[in-house]
Amino acid sequence: MTYEKYTGREAFVSLAEEPYLHIAPKAFLSCKTIESLKLPMTLESIGDWAFAHMHNLTDLYLPARNITLGKKVFLDCENLQRIHIMNDTSGKEGLSEMLGAAVTILKNTDLLQPHLAGSCDTHKAWLADFDTALEEFLTLEDNHGFEPVFYGWFNDDDVYSTQLPLFLKKKRTGKLTLAFKRLRYSMHLTEHLRELLQAYLADHMPWGAKAEEHTITWDLLPGYCQDEPVYIQILEQAGAFETAHIPALIDHLQDASAEVIAYLLNLQSTSQRSNDFFEHFSL
C-alpha cells in the first residue's frame, strides 16, 4: 500500500496509524505548510524526491525500521532540525538532532538507519559511523565540494564574490553546529574527536589560532546562547576563552537571557576571587 500524494495545507501531519508501506516519489514535493510529519509505523521505503523542497519541515518522525531511501529524498530541506524515532529504545538524548544533522549537514543518508540508531543494542555502533563521517566533514577543506553555477557567459566575478563566500559560510556554519551538538550530546565520544571538536571551536574565536581564516564561532555565538548557558560551558571546557575575554563576550551576547549573562558574570567573579587569593602568596 502506497501513500501517493499530499494535497492538504496543515502544519502538523500524522500518518503514524495508517498501514502504508511506501511513500511514493514526490509525495510531499515542495509542500510549504508542513512543519511536523509523522510517517507510518509500517513504513518500508521512501521514494525519490519525496520530501524535496519542504522548506518549513523541522521535525520528521520515523519508525525504528530498516527503511529504503530513494534519490534526493531530503533535497533542500535545510530547516529539518530533528528526525525522531517513534519507538526509540536507545534512550539517548540528542539522537533526533544527530539524525537531522546527518541528512541536512553531513548530507549522508546512509546514516539514516532508524533501526540501528534507535536500538539500545546497535546505537553505539551507529554512533561510531556518525562520528567517522563527522570527523571527515570537519577536517576537509571548507571549499571541498564547491561547484559554481554559471548563469551566463561572463560571471566569473559572481562565482568568487558571491557564490563561493556563501558556500564557505554554509560549510563553516555546519561544522560549528555539529561541533556544538556533538559536544553537547557526548555519549560514546572518543577523546580524539572531542579534542578535534573543541579545537575547531577555540581556533575560530577572534583570538584563536585560525582567526585569520575566519571567526565563525564568535560570529554565530549569539544565535546559540540566547536562552541557555550550555554552549558557553562547552566553550569554557574547550578553552575557547580566558577570563580577560569575558567582558567582550558579555557585550557580544547583550541580547542573551539573564541566565547566560549571570553565568558569565559568575565565571568572571570566581576567577577573580581565585586570582586575588593567590596574589597573597606572591613575593
Is there a single domain that holds both residue 175 and residue 41?
no
Name the more confident of 156 and 188: 188
Q: Which residues pair with 3 in a beta bridge?
A: 23
DSSP structure class, residue 111: G
Average pLDDT over residues 30-38: 97
Chain center to CA of 175:
8
**Pair 274, 181 in one domain:** yes
- The number of folded domains in the chain is 2
Q: Are residues 118 and 180 in the same domain?
A: no
Neighbours of 203 (CB within 10 A): 19
Q: How many CB atoms lie within 10 A of CB 264?
A: 20
| 159/203 same-domain check | yes
pLDDT one-digit tens code per residue, 197-221: 999 999 999 999 999 999 999 999 9
Does 195 fall in a domain? Answer: yes
In this structure, are 123 and 161 located in the same domain?
no
- Whether residues 190 and 131 share a domain: the answer is no
In angstroms, rounded to a whole number, what is the distance separating the alpha carbons of residues 69 and 62? 12
- pLDDT exceeds 50 at position 280: no
Residue 224 placed within a domain: yes
107 and 166 in a single domain? The answer is no
147, part of any domain: no
Residue 134: closest CA among 87, 97, 83, 169: 97
Q: Is the dihedral of CA 190, 196, 201, 205 positive or negative?
A: positive
Q: Looking at residue 21, which CATH number applies to its domain?
A: 3.80.10
Residue 229 lies in a domain: yes
- For residue 10, what is its C-alpha cell? 496543515
Closest CA to 4 of 23, 30, 18, 21: 23
- Residue 146 within a domain: no
pLDDT at 153 over 60: no
Report if residue 144 sits inside a domain: no
**Residue-number span of the structural domain to which 77 is assigned:** 1-139
Residue 176 and residue 118 in one domain: no
Q: What is the pLDDT of residues 44-102, one digit of tens each?
A: 999 999 999 999 999 999 999 999 999 999 999 999 999 999 999 988 899 999 999 99
Note whether residue 84 is domain-resident.
yes
> Between 181 and 157, whose confidence is greater?
181
Alpha-carbon distance of 43 to 58, in angstroms, equals 20
How remote is the C-alpha of 88 from its chain's centroid? 20
Integer angstrom CA distances of residue 71 from 108, 110, 279, 281: 12, 12, 65, 68
